[in-house]
Amino acid sequence: MALLNFRRPAAADAAKPDLSAFLQDYSIEVMPRTAEKVEDFRALLPEGTRVYIAHIDGTEIDDMVATAKRLSADGYNVMPHFPARSIKDRATLANWIERYRGEAGVNQALVLAGGISEPHGEFESSMQLLETGLFDGFSHIHVAGHPEGNKDIDPKGGDRNVMEALRWKQDFAKSHTDAKMALATQFAFDAGPIIAWADRLKAEGIELPIHIGIAGPAKLQTLIKFAIACGVGPSLKVLQKRAMDVTKLMLPYEPTEVVTALAAHKAAHPDFNIERVHFFPLGGIKTNATWAIENGGEATRPAAAAV
């Protein structure tokens, strides 16, 4: 097997130093069914990459644990989703955690409400999962962030409920857990609103590091479909405007513009609270991983040192 050379390309170092620095230690998301199509992750992702495993409602826990076990054995920092509304009760949550830890050595979790409207059991929010105490001993716990709001949480618009939840999580991070906590966000396509949102959180005293969600390279039609399904807000206009340009309609979208703008802002403002990039590989894991490496991204930070 021929492994990719994971050194940053010289061109990336010389021409895009801000971008290269911003992409260091990026993370990426997979699902069990997409992971099955990857023959060898080690040919695509540097060792030590944090890999989130998305738990789509209806996915069997056996498939989730098997994927976690495989990725962990390959040297990756595995962070499975724990979607509250898909978890029947405390006993189910305890069983999932026990299996992840015992069979795959998992000690990281993304705790979120989940994408379904009606809970399957007693949980409906990430906060309820955290309150169980069952994540005690985890090294990293991430929770969801929404740069463009969330209509499931604030159905009347605005972000009052979202902000209250973030304040609760901020307090939890400071006073109720030894785990390193961060926000992993929904993807967006416009750097301006992302920067404004991140700055507002900081002004509100919410100091959780942000791992900004970025959609990886994909066909424009694919991105628009996912963006609408996931409730992406105003930045969807970036894609719609692109779709109106016949010269760009058939070309694959790449996140270069939004990531470069965020990287430049980070370089100019080192205390900017976006600390990592988290990729949603909507156009395929290989395509996304190749783009990241070609633009200078590496992901080799050991789990103990990562945020």
pLDDT at 7: 44
In a domain, 205, yes or no: yes
- The pLDDT of residue 191 is 93
Angstrom distances, CA of residue 127 to CA of 113, 123, 168? 8, 9, 8
Domain annotation covers residue 154: yes
Question: Is residue 2 in a domain?
Answer: no
Contact yes or no for 177/242 (Cβ under 8 A):
no
Is residue 4 included in any domain, yes or no?
no
Does residue 285 fall inside a structural domain? yes
State the pLDDT at residue 231: 60
**N- to C-terminal Cα separation, the chain:** 32
Q: Is 212 domain-assigned? A: yes
In a domain, 27, yes or no: yes
Task: Pick the closest to residue 51 from 116, 130, 110 (CA basis).
Answer: 110
**Encoding tokens for residue 225?**
């479909």
Other residues' Cβ atoms within 10 Å of the Cβ of residue 102: 10
Q: pTM for this structure? A: 0.87
Report residue 178 as tokens: 């030894």
Local mean pLDDT, 10-residue blocks, the chain (307 residues): 43 63 95 96 95 96 98 98 97 98 98 90 96 98 87 67 92 97 92 94 95 91 69 62 54 88 96 96 94 79 48
Give the C-alpha distances (Å, rounded to integers) separating 214 from 4, 211, 260, 280, 283: 23, 9, 12, 6, 12
Rg value, the chain, Cα: 19
For residue 117, the model assigns a pLDDT of 84
Task: Tell me how many domains the chain contains.
Answer: 1
For residue 148, the model assigns a pLDDT of: 81
The answer to the question of residue 1 being in a domain is: no
Amino acid type, 212: I
Output the domain CATH number for residue 119.
Answer: 3.20.20.220
Select from 42, 34, 19 the least CA-distant residue to 64.
Answer: 34
Look up the domain containing 113 and give its range: 10-294
What pLDDT sits at residue 235?
A: 59
CA distances to 97, 141, 181, 276 from 184, in Å: 20, 10, 10, 9
